[in-house]
Amino acid sequence: MVSERWLPSVVNRLALRIALAVAGVAIGILWMLTGAGESLGGGAACGLATYLIGHLALHRRLRHATSTLRRIRQHDFEDLTPPASAPSDELGTLLRELYRTGQTLENEIQELKAMESYRREFIGNVSHELKTPIFSIQGFTETLLDGALNDEAVNRSFLEKIAHNVNRLETLAHDLSAITKIETGEMDMSSQRIVVDDLFDAVVESLELKADQNDVILQRQPANGLPPVYGDRDRIRRVLVNLADNAIKYNDAGGTVTLQAAAPSPGEVEFRVVDDGIGIPTEHLPRLTERFYRVDQSRSRNRGGSGLGLAIVKHILGAHNRTLHVESTPGEGSTFSFTLPTDPQTSLSST
């Protein structure tokens, strides 16, 4: 059985030099025997030239290849340099491929590190979000079992708080499932013609009870003859519901949330959810669509929600090749907006 173990690098380098020297001597001798050279000096010069050419063409580039492989193996990508003006022969091609391989591995390793960091952060966030409702349910349940169940002054209040936290768990589970399906491509998008007025009616119907409970006015402006848009109706309704739900939650009693639509340019309709609530500080705006990101941790959790609503909005709009835009002034309110293309069939029929 042949051993696959490499010889020591010193031996390999020495063997290569000996091989080059032998090749040089052989060519020098042939030079003299064939009469091409008139003297021993001419043959020696030819052999030396052959050795030097072989050293430049092979030894230096093989040493570069060995060094590149060693750096790749040690994940040392900072000093990885492309071959300088490598000839277009087999060895030059090998050096270029080694460099490209190192670049590819570096990118993949960075992606794996980012994914691992995201996984740890995601699991930590989910665990943190689960703890509060679970501990609340556990505490209220144990209190009821210890005798508070028979105390009419507190039993109904405790049961309502248990129900509230169960709803939080249900919302979190539903949103986690939704965002996972969107990110993995398991949630199919089915674009169709959407009438703006009908879409607004569906959103108001979903949230009018919650708006009443929070003493917030939820209203919609008429579409004023706007053309139908094109997108996944259920997903776009989810986007508007999430945006309006947030606007209701983070508004003060007596506040207003308005659904608006306009045509800023031909071929598209802009949707806006406008509120006159507490507003968002400028430094928080870039991170609003991050998973579990909350501007005010304690206040946000007290108002319910999974912390995934705006992340879901971002992904759904991304699947439509659209972006969420946010404008906000603390103490004055916020405007969340996005655009959708008009229904192509409507455009064709109008021409």
Q: How far apart are CA 51 and CA 61, in angstroms?
A: 15
Instruction: Assign residue 165 the CATH number of its domain.
Output: 1.10.287.130
* Run of H or E residues at 25: helix 9-33
Do the domain assignments include residue 27? Answer: yes
Does one domain contain both 147 and 230? Answer: no
Do the domain assignments include residue 1? Answer: no
Does one domain contain both 173 and 218? Answer: no
pLDDT means per 10 residues in the chain (351 residues)? 46 52 55 52 53 60 72 70 64 73 78 72 71 85 86 84 84 80 75 93 92 93 89 92 92 93 91 93 88 65 67 90 93 94 71 47
Does one domain contain both 161 and 79? Answer: no
Do the domain assignments include residue 278? Answer: yes
Question: In sequence order, what are the beta bridge partners of 325?
Answer: 337
Structural domain boundaries enclosing 129: 125-184
> Tokens for 136?
């609340």
Structural domain count of the chain = 3
Do the domain assignments include residue 113? Answer: no
Please classify residue 24 by burial: count the beta carbons closer than 10 Å to its beta carbon, then call 0-12 exposed, 13-18 middle and 19+ buried. Answer: buried
Q: How far apart are CA 66 and CA 82, in angstroms?
A: 13
Domain closes at, from 143, 161, 184: 184
Does one domain contain both 81 and 164? Answer: no
Do the domain assignments include residue 146? Answer: yes
Query: How many angstroms separate the Cα of 183 from the Cα of each of 108, 311, 318?
Result: 19, 11, 10
Does one domain contain both 142 and 49? Answer: no
Instruction: Assign residue 233 the CATH number of its domain.
Output: 3.30.565.10
Do the domain assignments include residue 314? Answer: yes
Q: Are the C-beta atoms of residues 184 and 221 closer than 8 Å to each other?
A: no
Question: In sequence order, what are the beta bridge partners of 154?
Answer: none
Domain closes at, from 184, 202, 222: 184
Cβ-count burial 31-60 (b if 16+ within 10 Å, e if not): bbeeeebeeeeebbebbeebbeebeeeebe
Do the domain assignments include residue 120? Answer: no
Q: Which residues contact 191 (CB under 8 A, 6 or more apart)?
A: 230, 231, 232, 320
* Run of H or E residues at 112: helix 90-145
Does one domain contain both 221 and 101? Answer: no
Q: How far apart are CA 346 and CA 349, in angstroms?
A: 5
Do the domain assignments include residue 131? Answer: yes
pLDDT of residue 1: 43
3-class SS at 201? Answer: helix
pTM given for the model: 0.61
Does one domain contain both 269 and 301? Answer: yes
Does one domain contain both 177 and 203? Answer: no
Does one domain contain both 209 and 307? Answer: yes
Does one domain contain both 103 and 132? Answer: no
pLDDT of residue 343: 87
Q: pLDDT digits over 227-280, tens only? A: 999 999 999 999 999 999 999 988 989 999 999 999 888 899 999 999 998 889
* Run of H or E residues at 46: helix 40-54
Does one domain contain both 210 and 165? Answer: no
Domain closes at, from 81, 108, 135: 108
Does one domain contain both 220 and 142? Answer: no
pLDDT of residue 324: 95
Task: Provide the phi-psi class of 331: left if phi over 0, else alpha when psi is between -120 and 50, else beta.
Answer: left
